[in-house]
Homo-oligomer: A and B are copies of this chain.
Amino acid sequence: MNVTIIDVAKKAGVSPSTVSRVISGHPRISPATVRKVKDIMEELGYHPNMMAKSLVSKTTQTIGLLLPRSAEELFLNQFFSEVIRGVVSQAARSEYDLMMTTGITEREEVEAVTRLVRGRRVDGVILLYSRNSDPVISFLKEERFPFVLIGRSEEHPDVLSVDNDNVQAAYDVTKHLLAQGHRRIGFVSGPPNLIVSRDRLEGYKQALADAEVEFHSEWIVEGEFLQESGYRAMSFFMTLPERPTALVVMDDLVAFGVLRGLTELGYKVPQDLSLIGFNNIPMSELASPPISSVDIGIYQLGYTASQTLIRAVKGEAIHHTRMIIPHRLIARESSLHHIQP
């Protein structure tokens, strides 16, 4: 059997409540008692049973992280490990543990978070990415359970969220290409049900409009965050009679697929087609030519989400519901080629 608070109390010749007070740093308790109890705890190798503590205090010192349903495929992307790294680091710093869960289907996903929330296993939840209509968000709102979203929700604009200004980011990127003289710019999008896809498309459109460049809907291609999607998009664009001279690509991995396809077909980047991606994965810098990208501060997203959630859980004031992590355009060779419009 493990050593309990009662063992400590007996040995120290005090009551269990006194020991409890020492543990929680109660103010009105004599320094002598504190010393004595702490010594005994040390001596006996006492460690509080978190389950018992949680049961009565109704807090767990744990936050939950719901991975997106298809973690299988999403993990391929550097994005998730980076986010998790940010969350874990911050949580550890705040002495919170991190509980990860996921589900294959939407039903399983809801079940998983229900288990965590209703089972009182966590004090708050972080949601990764936001699909358009998400039953998990509705559930958490109904339960009035603390949570923060990495991404944003259109239906629930009032929930705590940590996000990039994706509209602005795409605007910047498009403007960068326009500044190189490009007037025919295509857009390789992600899954259309993701808000990030729509935000970036919006920024792209705005930049074109502001530059009074005509928008071609046939130059928008949708795909997954996979290399193959890029390859496919490339095949599509390169057979077009009037094809773009530059591409804005939703994710570097996809951009890599484009690049690879172009190289295979003997095209030159950026001369034949300029490229710029998002997320600035390590590989982008290493490609030949190096791929321009937008650093969206993935680690920061996770870190800030964790920080915000823990504040919310503790009931601290949070001034902004929507926190924006700054992005940074990193121009590399793949988008540095001036053309005559």
Contact = CB atoms under 8 A, between A and B. Distances in A.
A129 to B, nearest CB: 16
Q: How many copies does the complex hold?
A: 2
A282 interface: yes
A51 B82 contact: no
A168 interface: no
B120 A50 contact: yes
Interface in A94-141: 97-104, 108, 112, 114-116, 118-121
A214 to B, nearest CB: 34
Contacts of A227: 282, 286
B51 A121 contact: yes
Contacts of A120: 2, 49-51
Contacts of A88: 67, 71, 100-102
A52 interface: yes
A49 B119 contact: yes
Interface string A55-98: 10000101000010001100110101110110011001000011
Interface of A, secondary structure class, is: helix
Contacts of A45: 118
Interface residues of A, number: 51
A321 interface: no
A282 B257 CA distance: 12
Contact of A103 (B48, B92, B100, B286): B92
A116 B62 CA distance: 11
A114 B114 CA distance: 28
A50 B64 CA distance: 14
Nearest to A95: B115
Nearest to A77: B81
A114 B67 CA distance: 26
Contact of A50 (B67, B119, B256, B263): B119
Contacts of A92: 101-104, 108, 112
A75 B81 contact: yes
A318 interface: no
B283 A286 contact: yes
Given A47-B119, A49-B55, A51-B120, A288 B288 contact: yes
A183 interface: no
A54 interface: yes
Contacts of A82: 75
Contacts of A152: none
Contacts of A175: none
A306 to B, nearest CB: 12
A182 interface: no
Given A51-B54, A99-B100, 20 more contacts: A2-B120, A47-B114, A47-B119, A50-B121, A51-B60, A51-B119, A55-B55, A62-B99, A71-B89, A72-B85, A75-B81, A76-B282, A80-B81, A84-B100, A88-B102, A92-B104, A97-B115, A99-B99, A260-B286, A283-B286
Q: Considering the complex of A and B, which 6 residue pairs feature the smallest CB-CB distances, nearest first? A: A47-B118, A81-B81, A50-B119, A51-B54, A51-B55, A75-B85
10 contacts: A49-B55, A50-B120, A50-B121, A52-B55, A75-B85, A81-B84, A92-B112, A98-B101, A99-B99, A263-B288
